[in-house]
Amino acid sequence: MNVRAGKKVWIGLAVLVLPCLIVSMDVSVLLFGMPFISADLKPSGTQLLWIMDMYGFVLAGMLITMGALGDRIGRRRLLLIGAVAFSAASVAAAYSTGAGMLIGTRAVLGLAGATLMPSTLALIRNMFHDERQRKTAIAVWTGAMTGGVTVGPIVGGALMNHFWWGSAFLINVPAMVLLLALGPVLLPEFRNPAAGRFDVLGSLLSLGAVLPIVYGIKELAIDGYALLPVISIVVGLAVGVVFWHRQRTIAHPLIDLSLFRHRTYSASVGVNTVTNFAMLGFSFYTMQYLQVVHGMSPFKASLWSLAVMPFIMVAMTVAGIAAKKVRPAFVIATGLLVSACGLVVTTQVDVHQSLAVILTGAGLLAAGMLVATSLTADLILTAAPAEQAGAASAVAETGSELGGALGFAILGSIGTAVYHHQMADVQVAGIPAETLRAARDTLGSAAHVPGQAGQALLETARTAFTHGLNITGLAGAMVLVPAALIAFAVLRNVPVTAPAKDTAPAEQTPELEPTDRPWQEPVPAVPQTRGAR
């Protein structure tokens, strides 16, 4: 029986890419809308932060729950339910009449986004049974996730130039309507017939573990040491221990912890975490460098950030070709080293340089990340049993979210510490002491000091910030290089093309109608759940 995907399956992949692009865009699309939201809804400072952060917090906290739920009720079904919820929440957010309503709708968007991400990746496992085709499909999926974060601010800026802030939410609706129209026709259904009862308490524990940790890390990164974020992290870790114990002891866990004894799976999750640590931790500095050091408007800076797209396109091509001929260990380690080289390039950035250096560094960082993570996504799916692909991919994506939060906190703290150290003794005649203290705290404050004295202060602040950027790049590279060596050592025995662990004849033939597939799927001979053991 032919296992290669036909035209219909590839069109289905294009449908799957839509929610990936929208979910990743929604993290950053509001960046240019915040001033308009502030003027219209008049939120407090705390409410403004929650409007930005609520989506990411709920998304990270619910990924494991939704990945496991999709394995039980059907991945396509959960994807379509999520599309309906995402559309409804987008419309409600666009027409919010107050800050509280917008915060609530952003939470629902995060919840719906958590249904979409693991379902899309897990469905690729069901749609592409040819090893090489699946790797290509995953490279496309990874490119959509990476590209969405890059394109989000640009789309947001363009919309703010022509429409009101709610348009940043309404752009989600056409994509979701298209998914709802084409999904039932083009996408297969898959559920784990031996999954057992859904662990409601476990899902609450996973949320109670991830959300406080992400919140605490981000708060420490933004405001420095404070008691509440530290307590939040400690509580999250404690709940995480309870969650881990429960998953080990109940009959039908959300995630099978034996997956982590599989070196390929654990190493791949680790690579995803480390790459997001470096990528998101450093991207914060890239945008500030363009806006404040080079004096660009936010929209112009976001357009310049598109310079990384050629690197991403080349990386997608290289990853697809290399995956068919070279062992994953070599490709993943090379990708991490390319990203490390990109960060090393950023150590050479100077205040008065052209943009070529910073954009080349950022491009290499993004390209290497894409090469590495496109392969780790495939290894994660094939290391896990097919019936647990949703939960397995959700755990990996949760690790990525935590890696990004840690990168923002740790790399952000390093750059901030360098800036504070170099600005500590700066004295500029004619500038009030209070204004000088604010400028020593952030580059943004230094940029708003008027007059000739303000220009002198800003030049010094730009130099201090750029030195912080250089040290941050070096710190990130020092994390990626050993990660590349460890990944190579752990994955060196993984072959170029491994035989699939599952066979699903009804899903391997593209001509079969998707609606016929659910009851034609064979029940696994050895169900991979504790209760069945």
pLDDT for 224 = 66
Burial class (CB in 10 A: 0-12, 13-18, 19+), 202: buried
pLDDT in tens, 469-505: 889 889 889 999 999 999 898 888 877 754 444 433 3
pLDDT band at 525 (very low <50, low <70, confident <90, very high): very low
pLDDT for 482 = 92
Tokens of 206: 């996973």
In sequence order, what are the residues at sequence separation of 6 or more whose Cβ sits closer than 8 angstroms to the Cβ of residue 135? 319, 320, 323, 324, 374, 375, 378
Say which range, 23-27, 112-116, 319-323, 489-493, has the weakest mean pLDDT.
23-27
Say which range, 14-18, 51-55, 149-153, has the weakest mean pLDDT.
149-153
In sequence order, what are the residues at sequence separation of 6 or more whose Cβ sits closer than 8 angstroms to the Cβ of residue 464? 418, 419, 422, 423, 443
Q: Which of 256, 258, 269 is nearest to 486 (CA)?
A: 269
What is the maximum span of the chain, computed from C-alpha positions, in angstroms? 81
pLDDT for 199 = 74
Task: Tell me the Ramachandran region of residue 238: left when phi exceeds 0, alpha when psi lies from -120 to 50, beta otherwise.
Answer: alpha
